[in-house]
Amino acid sequence: MPRAVKGVFVECDPSIKSLILNIDSKSHNVIVADLDDEHLVIDERQVENVKRQLDAQLAENTFNPAELDNNPEK
């Protein structure tokens, strides 16, 4: 008899997927099933958490010119 597991299907770039895998490697409670390079199923309770962590990680890699306001050019 087939099995049905509840979850949230995620479609994303391979780069984002590896970030999600990275988040999962810390707690092992995020990913329900790893489907292929661009698709996976995650726990619905973790969706917001994953989105937040992704945003934080992506923000780290961005240059924010607004910060220059505090160090005005000569």
What is the binding site for other proteins (CB under 8 A)? Answer: 1-13, 16, 32-33, 35-36, 39, 41, 44, 47, 50-51, 54, 58, 62, 64-66, 69
The CA-based dihedral angle spanning residues 17, 19, 24, 26, taken in that order and rounded to the nearest 10 degrees: 160
Asked whether the beta carbons of 30 and 53 are under 8 A apart, the reply is no
Minimum separation from the CB atom of position 26 to other proteins (A): 18
Pairwise CA distance, residues 74 & 38, whole Å = 47
State the minimum distance, in angstroms, from the CB of residue 12 to other proteins.
5
C-beta of 27 vs 66, nearer to other proteins: 66
